[in-house]
């Protein structure tokens, strides 16, 4: 047994995982195993056909009873496959006698109904132990896995039956409808031929399931051995040892030139560097040694920061729950209404005191509430679609919030002085031309927003504001041409001041101020 | 469920295993252990048992309610049949009570928690798996497909994996920790840690035998070598000083 040849991954597995691995393994060798299983089973069954043609069920029983005999050869083959040794079909058949040499009588008599057959069989077939040795071995293996092995057996038996019923159901479904076969008599045991055929199909199903059952139990057995004998560790240790031996063989060659103080050949030096770089170099020594660090840690842990205690005491009211609960009036009325509701006339046998109608009433109301809330929810959820579908155009937001700043200018009314033009002219005279023009422009914007409800948006530019006012003048009669003209002029002047730093003539500003007073006269 | 991934070089000979691997967009390899047909059939039986129990109790409780009772019972059985697995899979981390009993869990095939649509899909397709009788199609599909998937799993893109049970701390051998030599690979370290952790399960003779394999590493033979390895194991598990 060479563990390196193992064709499955050796690792610690739970019992169920081992069974799953068995399923995978069986899938790989299914055709070989199933045919090896079926051959002796078919021989037995055909013998029964010849010998007792009148009792097909006894024939099936005989074939079924000898299952442990057929299990052994597939097990032997798959165990060879596990260690990478492939066996052909003919070759395998030659091992039939060898596989069945041990304990064959026990397996088809006292152990026939054992639930752990697939799990125990490797001990007999592969380890070849019997008697005392076998029972000791079995008890060790069973300690953790007997439950899983039994469940595997139970599931296997049920799957066999399920598949047989499935095939029966499938063939019944596939019958053309016109073909009205009276199939009830076929199922009764009168027609022997049909029973022989049905039982033969059952035998085929058994052969199909057998590889999975055998491999499931076998891998469970292997899983136990991996755990008990640490195969996984052994494989890894052998690999490591191999590597170490290879390294030390190489290491002797490369250490020598390094030991010599005067290394002459550059090639050898490169060699030894290669070895040095190959291994991880230890981290540079810390300024603090581990023991010093430990001391610092202990000191810190013993310090005040980690030993602060706080005691809190005081009086608190406990929360008392009021035990009195009064049903609300509407609920009482509702229940009374439910009870007094007319009962369906079909309900002839409803008796007094029967709460069935009440229950039904409650459920009916609940269902109605559910349905109505579902409808409301759907209406709400698709409200936009419905509105659009009805051709209703959503009004552009009525109470749109007015912007507080436009291109960085504060346009709230509160930020403006009482007398705008006087303040503008004062600023102009003191040389703050930019502020002066800015104030005038701000005041204009603010007035446009608050008095003419101009819909300036946050993202508008100056030109866009001017354009909006121009366009608005065609619809809104309050926006007179003088205002529009003034705002266009002011915008241009402000843009020149703000971006090109070109101040207007004093006369031009004066005229703007005059126009401002003119336009917003009635307000001031 | 997830465990540290094994590198590709490890499986150079393509050994058979039930691991399922996937790579996240960040380039992290995740692995999970696939669950096969046998535990899944049993988990389904447990769920079936619970469901039948609920329906039986309900039938007894509603016996007095006459036709309304029957109505409720039929409604409940409908919802239990179709939405019992969906509810548990989505809200309880992919585990119905039956799956929990066998520590199985449904996950998407990229190992993320199962989503609503996937769970509904795989459970609605139970019908296909049931055909022609008693989940025959499902059993065949699970047994023959690479990742033990039934038809519903294929359609929904889900797999069933084992969720690792929480391991209790094992008693480690009472040896002083020793720093490991340089150049140990991850798998070597895992093997040494495993040897340390299983010191109470393996026979002492077998442990000795395993430790002797690493004589080139420890430079010691017999029980001294074993203790050295166990010390390294304890060091790798984080112990640095004597207790």
B11 touches chain A (CB under 8 A): yes
- Does B121 share its domain with B207? no
- Choose the closest CB to B206 out of A229, A241, A245: A229
B13 CA: distance to closest CA in chain A (Å): 8
A200 CA: distance to closest CA in chain B (Å): 19
Q: Determine, for residues B210 and A237 on separate chains, whether the beta-carbon distance falls below 8 Å.
A: yes
Indicate the residue among B100, B133, B162 that finishes a domain.
B162
Q: Determine, for residues A356 and B66 on separate chains, whether the beta-carbon distance falls below 8 Å.
A: yes
ipTM: 0.89
CB B218 within 8 A of CB B229: yes
Chain A residue numbers with beta carbons less than 8 Å from the beta carbon of B138 are: none
Q: Determine, for residues A162 and B214 on separate chains, whether the beta-carbon distance falls below 8 Å.
A: no
Give me chain B's average pLDDT, please.
87
Considering only alpha carbons, which residue of chain A is nearest residue B102?
Answer: A16
Is residue B158 situated within a structural domain?
Answer: yes
Q: Determine, for residues B213 and A229 on separate chains, whether the beta-carbon distance falls below 8 Å.
A: no
B24 CA: distance to closest CA in chain A (Å): 24
Q: Determine, for residues A229 and B15 on separate chains, whether the beta-carbon distance falls below 8 Å.
A: no
Q: Determine, for residues B133 and A238 on separate chains, whether the beta-carbon distance falls below 8 Å.
A: no
Chain A residue numbers with beta carbons less than 8 Å from the beta carbon of B41 are: 155, 158-159
- Choose the closest CB to A230 out of B13, B188, B206: B206
Q: Determine, for residues A19 and B39 on separate chains, whether the beta-carbon distance falls below 8 Å.
A: yes
- Does B209 share its domain with B131? no
Is residue B30 situated within a structural domain?
Answer: no
The structural domain count of chain B equals 2
Q: Determine, for residues B34 and A20 on separate chains, whether the beta-carbon distance falls below 8 Å.
A: yes
**Which residues fall within 8 angstroms of residue A195, CB to CB, at 6 or more apart?**
A56, A57, A189
SS3 for A396-438, per residue?
Answer: CCCCCCCCCEECCEECCHHHCCCCHHHHHHHHHHCCCHHHHHH
| Residue from B3, B9, B39 to probe the interface with A (highest A Cβ count within 10 Å) | B39
Distance of CA A249 to the CA centre of its chain: 50
- Does B193 share its domain with B224? yes
- Does B71 share its domain with B143? yes
Is residue B26 situated within a structural domain?
Answer: no
Residue range B60-66: mean pLDDT, rounded: 83
CB B20 within 8 A of CB B32: yes
- Does B213 share its domain with B132? no
B212 CA: distance to closest CA in chain A (Å): 10
A323 CA: distance to closest CA in chain B (Å): 29
| Residue from B134, B145, B180, B196 to probe the interface with A (highest A Cβ count within 10 Å) | B134
Structural domain that includes position B44: 37-162
Q: Determine, for residues A247 and B187 on separate chains, whether the beta-carbon distance falls below 8 Å.
A: no
| Residue from B64, B136, B166 to probe the interface with A (highest A Cβ count within 10 Å) | B136
For residue A185, the model assigns a pLDDT of 61
Chain A residue numbers with beta carbons less than 8 Å from the beta carbon of B190 are: 236
B69 touches chain A (CB under 8 A): yes
- Does B48 share its domain with B141? yes
Please check the confidence at residue B62 and state whether its pLDDT lies above 60. Answer: yes
Indicate the residue among B146, B162, B178 that finishes a domain.
B162
Q: What angle do the packed helices A231-259 and A266-278 form, to 10 degrees?
A: 150
**Which residues fall within 8 angstroms of residue A502, CB to CB, at 6 or more apart?**
A496
Q: What angle do the packed helices B186-197 and A231-259 form, to 10 degrees?
A: 130
- Does B150 share its domain with B187? no
- Choose the closest CB to B217 out of A24, A151, A240: A240
Confidence label for B166 from pLDDT (cuts 50, 70 and 90): confident
CB B66 within 8 A of CB B119: no
Q: Determine, for residues B194 and A232 on separate chains, whether the beta-carbon distance falls below 8 Å.
A: yes
CA torsion B11-B17-B19-B24 (nearest 10°) is: 30
Is residue B11 situated within a structural domain?
Answer: no
Give the pLDDT confidence of A276-328 residue by residue, as tens digits.
444 444 444 454 677 888 888 888 888 777 777 888 888 888 777 666 677 88
For residue A258, the model assigns a pLDDT of 44
Please check the confidence at residue B9 and state whether its pLDDT lies above 50. Answer: no
Could you give the CA distance from residue B227 to residue B211 in angstroms, rounded to a whole number? 9
Beta pairing partners, B106: B160
Q: What angle do the packed helices A192-229 and A231-259 form, to 10 degrees?
A: 40
Q: Kindly report each contact of residues A100-108 with a partner whose C-beta sits within 8 Å and lies 24 or more positions away, as own/partner.
A: A100/A69, A100/A72, A100/A73, A102/A128, A102/A130, A103/A130, A103/A134, A104/A68, A104/A69, A107/A68, A107/A69, A108/A65, A108/A66, A108/A68, A108/A69
Chain A residue numbers with beta carbons less than 8 Å from the beta carbon of B136 are: 162-163, 165-166, 170
Considering only alpha carbons, which residue of chain A is nearest residue B64?
Answer: A356
Q: Determine, for residues B16 and A233 on separate chains, whether the beta-carbon distance falls below 8 Å.
A: no
Could you give the CA distance from residue B35 to residue A383 in angstroms, rounded to a whole number? 47
Closest CA relative to residue A148, chosen from A17, A307, A300, A3: A17
Q: Determine, for residues B66 and A350 on separate chains, whether the beta-carbon distance falls below 8 Å.
A: yes
Closest CA relative to residue A116, chosen from A133, A137, A102: A137
Is residue B54 situated within a structural domain?
Answer: yes
B62 CA: distance to closest CA in chain A (Å): 9
Identify the three-state secondary structure at position B47.
helix
B72 touches chain A (CB under 8 A): yes
Token pair 């989505």: residue: B90
- Does B189 share its domain with B78? no
Is residue B209 situated within a structural domain?
Answer: yes
For residue B150, the model assigns a pLDDT of 94
Is residue B23 situated within a structural domain?
Answer: no
B63 CA: distance to closest CA in chain A (Å): 10
Could you give the CA distance from residue A96 to residue A426 in angstroms, rounded to a whole number? 120
B205 touches chain A (CB under 8 A): no
CB A484 within 8 A of CB A392: no
Indicate the residue among B145, B162, B179 that finishes a domain.
B162
| Residue from A2, A11, A276 to probe the interface with B (highest B Cβ count within 10 Å) | A11
Could you give the CA distance from residue A125 to residue A79 in angstroms, rounded to a whole number? 10
B235 touches chain A (CB under 8 A): no
b/e per residue A158-197 (b: at least 16 CB within 10 A): ebbebbbebbbeeeeeeeeeeeeeeeeeeeeeeeeebbbe
- Choose the closest CB to B216 out of A17, A228, A248: A248
Q: Residue B184: how many CB atoms within 10 A of its CB?
A: 18
- Does B57 share its domain with B151? yes
- Choose the closest CB to B18 out of A17, A163, A241: A17
Start-to-end C-alpha separation, chain B = 32
Residues 158-177 of chain B with CB under 8 A from chain A are 162
Residues 94-153 of chain B with CB under 8 A from chain A are 102, 132-136, 139, 143-144, 148
**Which residues fall within 8 angstroms of residue A393, CB to CB, at 6 or more apart?**
none
| Residue from A8, A13, A29, A159 to probe the interface with B (highest B Cβ count within 10 Å) | A159
CA A404 vs CA A453, A455, A456, A457: distances in Å: 14, 12, 10, 10
Chain A residue numbers with beta carbons less than 8 Å from the beta carbon of B71 are: 360, 363
Residues 21-60 of chain B with CB under 8 A from chain A are 33-39, 41-42
For residue A103, the model assigns a pLDDT of 85
- Choose the closest CB to B133 out of A28, A165, A237: A165
B115 CA: distance to closest CA in chain A (Å): 23
For residue B119, the model assigns a pLDDT of 94
B215 CA: distance to closest CA in chain A (Å): 8
For residue A219, the model assigns a pLDDT of 95
For residue B13, the model assigns a pLDDT of 53
Closest CA relative to residue B123, chosen from B92, B162, B158, B77: B158
- Does B151 share its domain with B212? no
Chain A residue numbers with beta carbons less than 8 Å from the beta carbon of B46 are: none
Closest CA relative to residue B128, chosen from B137, B117, B118: B137
Considering only alpha carbons, which residue of chain A is nearest residue B194?
Answer: A233
Tokens of A461: 């530019």
For residue A208, the model assigns a pLDDT of 95
Q: Which residues of chain A have pLDDT under 70?
A: 178-190, 251-288, 321-324, 341-356, 393-402, 522-524
Residue range B65-70: mean pLDDT, rounded: 80
Give the pLDDT confidence of B33-53 residue by residue, as tens digits.
999 999 999 999 999 999 999
- Does B128 share its domain with B222? no
Is residue B22 situated within a structural domain?
Answer: no
Chain A residue numbers with beta carbons less than 8 Å from the beta carbon of B201 are: 227-228
CB A125 within 8 A of CB A75: yes
Could you give the CA distance from residue A36 to residue A75 in angstroms, rounded to a whole number? 10
- Does B123 share its domain with B45? yes
């Amino acid at each position: 047994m060479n563990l390196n040849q193992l064709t499955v991954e050796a690792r610690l597995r739970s019992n169920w995982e081992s069974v799953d691995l068995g399923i995978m393994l069986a899938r790989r060798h299914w055709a070989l195993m199933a045919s090896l299983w079926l051959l002796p089973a078919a021989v037995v069954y055909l013998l029964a056909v010849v010998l007792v043609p009148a009792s097909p069920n006894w024939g099936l029983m005989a074939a079924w009873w000898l299952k442990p005999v057929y299990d052994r050869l597939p097990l032997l083959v798959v165990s060879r496959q596990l260690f990478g040794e492939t066996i052909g079909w003919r070759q395998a058949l030659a091992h039939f006698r060898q596989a069945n040499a041990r304990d064959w009588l026990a397996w088809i008599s006292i152990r026939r109904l054992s639930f752990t057959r697939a799990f125990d069989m490797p001990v007999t077939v592969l380890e070849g132990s019997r008697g005392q040795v076998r029972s000791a071995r079995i008890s060790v293996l069973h300690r953790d896995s007997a439950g899983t092995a039994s469940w595997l057996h139970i599931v296997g038996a049920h799957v066999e039956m399920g598949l047989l019923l499935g095939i029966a159901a499938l063939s019944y479904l596939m019958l053309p409808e016109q073909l009205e076969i009276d199939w009830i008599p076929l199922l009764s045991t009168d027609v022997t031929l049909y029973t022989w055929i049905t039982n033969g199909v059952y035998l085929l199903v058994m052969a199909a399931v057998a590889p999975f059952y055998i491999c499931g139990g076998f891998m469970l057995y292997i899983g136990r051995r991996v755990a008990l004998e640490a195969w996984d560790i052994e494989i890894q240790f052998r690999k490591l040892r191999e590597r170490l031996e290879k390294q030390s063989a190489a290491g002797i060659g490369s250490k020598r030139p390094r030991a010599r103080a005067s290394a002459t050949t550059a090639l050898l030096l490169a060699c030894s560097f290669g070895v040095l770089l190959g291994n991880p170099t230890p981290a540079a020594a810390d300024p603090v040694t581990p023991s010093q660090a430990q001391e610092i840690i202990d000191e810190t842990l013993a310090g005040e920061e980690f030993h602060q205690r706080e005691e809190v005491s005081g009086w608190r009211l406990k929360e008392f729950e009021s035990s009195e609960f009064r049903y609300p009036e509407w609920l009482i009325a509702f229940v009374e209404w439910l009870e007094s509701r007319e009962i369906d006339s079909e309900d002839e046998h409803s008796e007094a005191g029967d709460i069935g109608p009440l229950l039904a009433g409650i459920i009916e109301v609940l269902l109605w509430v559910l349905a109505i809330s579902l409808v409301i929810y759907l209406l709400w959820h698709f409200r936009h679609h419905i509105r659009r579908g009805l051709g209703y155009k959503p009004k552009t937001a009525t109470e749109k919030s007015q912007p507080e700043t436009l291109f960085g200018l504060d346009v709230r009314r509160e930020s403006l002085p009482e007398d705008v033009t006087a303040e503008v002219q004062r600023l102009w005279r003191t040389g703050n031309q930019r502020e002066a023009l800015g104030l005038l422009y701000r005041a204009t914007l603010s007035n446009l927003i608050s008095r003419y409800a101009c819909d300036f948006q946050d993202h508008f530019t100056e030109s866009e504001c001017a354009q909006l006012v121009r366009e608005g003048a065609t619809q809104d009669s309050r926006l007179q041409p003088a205002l529009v003209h003034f705002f266009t002029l002011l915008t241009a002047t402000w843009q020149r001041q703000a971006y090109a730093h070109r101040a207007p003539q004093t006369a031009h500003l004066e005229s703007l101020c005059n126009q401002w007073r003119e336009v917003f006269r009635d307000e001031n | 469920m997830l465990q540290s991934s094994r590198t590709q070089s490890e499986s150079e000979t393509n050994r058979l295993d039930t691991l399922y691997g996937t790579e996240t967009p960040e380039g992290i390899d995740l692995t999970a252990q696939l669950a096969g047909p046998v535990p899944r059939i049993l988990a389904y039986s447990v769920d079936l048992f619970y469901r039948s129990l609920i329906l039986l109790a309900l039938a007894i409780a509603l016996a007095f309610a006459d036709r309304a009772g029957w109505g409720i019972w039929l409604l409940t059985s409908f919802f239990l049949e179709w939405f019992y697995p969906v509810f548990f899979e989505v809200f309880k981390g992919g585990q119905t009570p039956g799956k929990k009993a066998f520590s199985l869990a449904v996950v998407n095939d990229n190992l993320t928690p199962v989503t609503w649509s996937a769970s509904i899909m795989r459970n609605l397709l139970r019908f296909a798996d049931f055909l022609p009788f008693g989940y025959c199609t499902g059993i065949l599909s699970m047994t023959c497909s690479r990742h033990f998937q039934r038809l519903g799993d294929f359609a929904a893109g889900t797999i069933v994996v084992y969720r690792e049970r929480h391991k209790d701390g094992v008693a480690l051998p009472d040896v002083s920790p020793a720093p490991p030599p340089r150049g140990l690979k991850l798998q070597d370290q895992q093997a040494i840690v495993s040897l340390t952790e299983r010191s109470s399960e393996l026979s002492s003779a077998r442990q000795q035998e395993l430790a002797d394999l690493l004589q080139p590493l420890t430079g010691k033979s017999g029980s001294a070598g074993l203790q050295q390895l166990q010390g390294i194991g304890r060091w790798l598990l984080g112990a640095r000083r004597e207790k």
